[in-house]
């Protein structure tokens, strides 16, 4: 099946705008769920219309278009000239690009069920949210991580009980989650809490439950590699953003999750060619 090139272009643009809108929503969600001023009204958190954080002006329809509106407004509120955080723009852009890449990969191999692609993109969106939350507040949205972990466990258990998932696969995913949690707990105990925190235990548990042992190993290697590289760079540059020589680590875990799900085990084969 070959699709005319202009159709591919239109499709890519639509997928990009869709992904960037999700990115925009994840940013808004993270900034509305500030742990220091917890809004208890969930309706307000999810449904209230986006507004300027400074002058509270409601955003017009075109100002809601992700990426594009930021560029047109030159990163400022049209009314009060408040500087919109560049991180919003970056998350929108990256989420759009990741969405396009996942689908392009699917187009090159349409034998993969579409549902699997949505599932993988969903995982990427969840970790983008965690990453942005960690970037903003230097902490993990622990309640959300635990709720999602328990949901994934129930899904696996349900799949096994109703014979949709084989016993070996069930144990494999389950075991990977607990190995992930145990390994990070050991790292924390051995390093006396320098570097990783207890929230990371839950995050790596979720990575294991979702991606299995190979995915877990890949995410661990990718996140530690890039996290350490950026950490060393920041220390060398004496960055002021550095708090007690710590960095926000979840963005690197999210990077690992995206690379691992997109490359489907290639990193593992590259790390351990004999296995």
Q: Is 22 in the site for Zn ion (CB under 5 A)?
A: no
Q: Is 72 in the site for Zn ion (CB under 5 A)?
A: no
In whole angstroms, give the CA distance from residue 150 to residue 144: 10
Cβ at position 170, least distance to Zn ion in Å: 51
Q: Using CB atoms within 10 Å of the CB of residue 135, give its burial: 0 to 12 exposed, 13 to 18 middle, 19+ buried.
A: middle
Angle of CA points 38, 43, 48, to nearest 5°: 90
In whole angstroms, give the CA distance from residue 47 to residue 231: 37
Q: Is 55 in the site for Zn ion (CB under 5 A)?
A: yes
Decide whether 74 or 79 has the Cβ nearer to Zn ion: 79
Sole window of 25-33, 70-78, 166-174, 183-191 interacting with Zn ion (rule: CB under 5 A): 70-78
Query: CA torsion 218→255→212→197, rounded to 10°?
Result: 90
In whole angstroms, give the CA distance from residue 89 to residue 22: 12
* Cβ contact 88:113 at 8 Å: no
Cβ at position 273, least distance to Zn ion in Å: 55
Which one of 52, 201, 216, 219 is in contact with Zn ion (CB under 5 A)? Answer: 52
Cβ at position 63, least distance to Zn ion in Å: 10
Q: Is 58 in the site for Zn ion (CB under 5 A)?
A: no
Cβ at position 58, least distance to Zn ion in Å: 10
Cβ at position 56, least distance to Zn ion in Å: 7
The strand pairing partners of 76, in sequence order, are 83
Q: Residue holding tokens 């993109």?
A: 121
How many residues bind to Zn ion according to rule CB under 5 A?
8
Sole window of 72-80, 105-113, 214-222, 263-271 interacting with Zn ion (rule: CB under 5 A): 72-80
Q: Is 54 in the site for Zn ion (CB under 5 A)?
A: yes
Instruction: Looking at residues 75 to 134 of the shown chain, list those that interact with Zn ion (rule: CB under 5 A).
Output: 77, 79-80, 82
Sole window of 51-59, 157-165, 209-217, 249-257 interacting with Zn ion (rule: CB under 5 A): 51-59
* Cβ contact 234:242 at 8 Å: yes
Cβ at position 96, least distance to Zn ion in Å: 24
In whole angstroms, give the CA distance from residue 250 to residue 227: 9
Decide whether 53 or 139 has the Cβ nearer to Zn ion: 53
In whole angstroms, give the CA distance from residue 28 to residue 13: 22
The strand pairing partners of 246, in sequence order, are 243
Give contact residues for Zn ion (rule: CB under 5 A): 52, 54-55, 57, 77, 79-80, 82
């Amino acid at each position: 099946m070959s699709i005319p090139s202009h159709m591919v272009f239109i499709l890519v643009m639509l997928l990009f705008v869709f992904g960037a809108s999700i990115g925009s929503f994840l940013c808004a969600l993270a900034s509305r769920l500030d742990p220091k001023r917890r809004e208890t009204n969930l309706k307000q958190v999810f449904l209230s219309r986006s507004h300027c954080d400074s002058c509270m002006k409601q955003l017009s329809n075109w100002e809601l278009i992700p990426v594009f509106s930021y560029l047109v407004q030159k990163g400022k509120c049209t009314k009060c000239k408040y500087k919109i955080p560049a991180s919003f723009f970056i998350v929108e852009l990256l989420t759009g690009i990741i969405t396009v890449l996942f689908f392009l990969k699917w187009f090159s191999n349409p034998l993969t069920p579409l549902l699997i692609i949505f599932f993988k993109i969903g995982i990427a969106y969840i970790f983008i949210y965690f990453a942005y939350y960690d970037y903003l507040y230097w902490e993990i949205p622990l309640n959300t991580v635990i709720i999602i972990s328990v949901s994934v466990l129930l899904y696996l258990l349900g799949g096994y009980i109703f014979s949709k998932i084989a016993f070996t696969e069930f144990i494999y995913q389950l075991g990977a989650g607990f190995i992930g949690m145990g390994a990070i707990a050991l790292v924390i105990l051995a390093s006396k809490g320098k570097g990783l925190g207890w929230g990371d235990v839950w995050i790596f548990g979720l990575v294991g439950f979702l991606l299995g042992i190979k995915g877990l190993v890949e995410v661990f290697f990718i996140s530690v590699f890039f996290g350490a590289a950026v950490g060393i760079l920041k220390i060398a540059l004496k960055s002021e953003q550095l708090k007690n020589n710590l960095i926000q680590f979840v963005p690197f875990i999210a990077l690992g999750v995206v690379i691992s799900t997109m490359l489907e085990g290639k990193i593992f084969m590259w790390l351990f060619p004999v296995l």
